[in-house]
Amino acid sequence: MKKLFFTLLTFSFTVSFSQNITVNESYTAQQLVQNILVNSGCISVSNVSVSGGNFGTGELSYGYFNANSSVFPFQEGIILSTGKIKSAIGPNSNFSDDGTGIGWNGDPDLNTALGLSNTFNATVLEFDFIPNANNISFEYIFSSEQYLSNPSSNQCSYTDGFAFLLKEATASTYQNLAVIPNTNIPVKVNTVRGSGTICPPANEAYFDAFNTGNYPTTYDGQTKVLTAQSVVTPGTLYHIKLVIADEGNARFDSGIFLRAGSFISEKDLGNDRLIAAGNPLCPNETLTLNATQAGATSYQWYQNGNPVGTNSPTFNVTSAGNYSVEINISSSCTLTGEIKIEYAPNLNIAQNTFEICDTNIDGLATFNLATLQTQIFSNLPANFTVALYDSTTSTTPLPSSYTNTTPFQQIIYARIINIQNCYGNIPITLKVNTFPQTFNDVSIGICNNSPTNLSAPSGYASYSWNTNPIQTTPTITVANAGTYIVTITNASGCTKTKTFTVVTSEPATITNIEVNDFEEQLTATISVTGNGDYEYSLDGETFQDSPIFNLPESGEYTVFVNDKNNCGLISQTFYALSYPKFFTPNGDNYNETWYIKNLNKKGLENSKVYIFDRFGKLIKQIYPNRNGWNGTYDGKPLPSSDYWFVLELTNGKTIKGHFSLIR
């Protein structure tokens, strides 16, 4: 049997507290149960008995009550008390404490159910019944003088007890239906209690109020309307025992109010299927409600109070709503059953395409599926889980770091599951975007900090330069040297960078031209200063990066030095010197004198040449603007031999060599 669950009912009252309940002690036990509590042909009642306090002159601890147009939640019903039921009549300015005047026994079954040993003043109403349906329920309110709101309250340490004990007639063990929802804790003053006393509140959601002085009963507090319910087997004989007793002492009476006509046999259609309870139906799920009942002559189904379906014991639910069924057994018995159905929300994901950029343009990239799952979770209700699979039938979740297997675009599936294992497979597109274009880095020179434009390729979605402030146009103007980086974003959101290295440039200054005069292979090395990127040429047309030239012959040359950033071209003339290795002063007017060519050119005209014989004797000094040496000394021809020379250039450089005189 399922244990008690509680239904909290909210009442709105507009009448004043001027009326009090009334009680009647003349009803027999059979009348109280058959005519007041049950009042239905769907439950067969027998073996009714009642026991409790008899205070003489007809005053009892049980009987009938009527709300008498007061604000008490039940219009009429049965009251069971640990004192006189007449003492329960309001207003609350009275005090019900009858157990101290007369004492009677407690109840051993109550002691067992609540784990007590010291109950007394027990009032018991019990009977056998046979239900026609698979569920029974009834409504009640627990009230007590022990609900004291002042600091002298004794509700913290001990409390009156009550129980609704149910068993099959042949069983030996009772089940207590009067417990806190989803627990085995009995409903008592110290388990259902409001705030405002010296004791902390307990299960306050089920506590109604500390009653004021003009309340229609004399009890100081009460619970909200509670519903006791249990699953039963139709056609089976059950015994129920409704019992209340004092615990610990006889002071501060308590009472149980049972709503008239609320003890009913209902058809159990199953637990409500609610989102809040974590058991809704899955989207598109069909639930078959089964109300099959032995002896039924007809069935009528309702959705939200409107008749639906046919005369059938089953009904297929395909939409949310409050469903009920009426089952006609006889003219005196119509069973009912109710169930509330909710559907889990459709599993939607705000974003179902996830994109990433590929760095090597092969259409494959690694996705962080853990981050993707977090994004999906953020849009789902509680009690849902998400796993990602590569197909709707796969049973192996994808790893958190996943590389797509189909280049550029692939479908995977988010399997979203609630705690009832409702799930939906939602396709997720993994898209790999590329940026196939490549951008070469460039170096640009600017002349003496003159402004220049840096231009990135046009036609892309956005640009971002590393300038301060950031510039977002394809072309920017700069006037200072530095490294400028532009991040280019294409239409797919992928990025690439292009780097511009800007250097300051200026025309070169030639500081020296070093020529290895008189060597077999003449070379010229050009030395320059300046902040620039220079190239060199001997004809002004063909340039080279090297400042060293191999000269084909001696003679006059002009070197050109150009700044590659177009900041200026300069030139300078230089001379490569050579000398004849021999001469033949024999009077044929050919090769009659020895001299060094080009010494008469600008910059060399002050050079000096000294000629020596092999013994070091100075033979002749010649000058650049003269005819050279004719091979004589003091007017006399010298013999054939090797002779030496020393050339002293204008710049102070000295060059030595030798040549032959041949006759």
Mean pLDDT of 451-470: 95
Mean pLDDT of 75-94: 90
Find, among 651, 367, 389, 309, the residue nearest to 511 by Cα.
651
Instruction: Tell me how crowded residue 263 is: count the other CB atoms within 10 A of its CB.
Output: 26
- Using DSSP's 3-state secondary structure scheme, residue 257 falls into strand
Work out the pLDDT band at 414, boundaries 50, 70, 90: confident
CATH homologous superfamily for the domain 267-341: Immunoglobulins (2.60.40.10)
Assess whether pLDDT exceeds 80 at residue 186: yes
Instruction: Read off φ and ψ for residue 460, nearest 5 degrees.
Output: -105, 170
* The CATH number of domain 353-433, selected from 3.30.420, 2.60.40, 1.10.10, 3.40.50: 2.60.40
Mean pLDDT of 359-385: 80
**Token reading at 415:** 């399997």
According to CATH, the topology of domain 582-661 is: Immunoglobulin-like (2.60.40)
- What CATH number has the domain spanning 509-576? 2.60.40
pLDDT for residue 519: 84
Q: What share of the chain is helix, strand, coil (3-state, %, to 5)?
A: 5, 45, 50
442-505 belongs to CATH 2.60.40.10: yes
- How far, in Å, CA of 322 to CA of 68, rounded? 33
Contacts of 90 (CB under 8 A, 6+ apart): 20, 21, 70, 214, 215, 216, 217, 218
Contacts of 199 (CB under 8 A, 6+ apart): 153, 155, 156, 190, 193
What predicted TM-score, i.e. pTM, was given to this entire model? 0.56
Strand ranges for 101-206 from DSSP E: 119-131, 135-144, 161-168, 175-176
pLDDT tens digits, residue range 327-346?
Answer: 998 888 898 999 999 987 77
Q: Could you tell me the residue ranges of all domains in the chain?
A: 22-265, 267-341, 353-433, 442-505, 509-576, 582-661
pLDDT tens digits, residue range 189-208?
Answer: 889 988 866 778 889 999 99
Same fold, 267-341 and 442-505: yes
pLDDT for residue 18: 58
**Token reading at 154:** 């004794």
Work out the pLDDT band at 347, boundaries 50, 70, 90: low
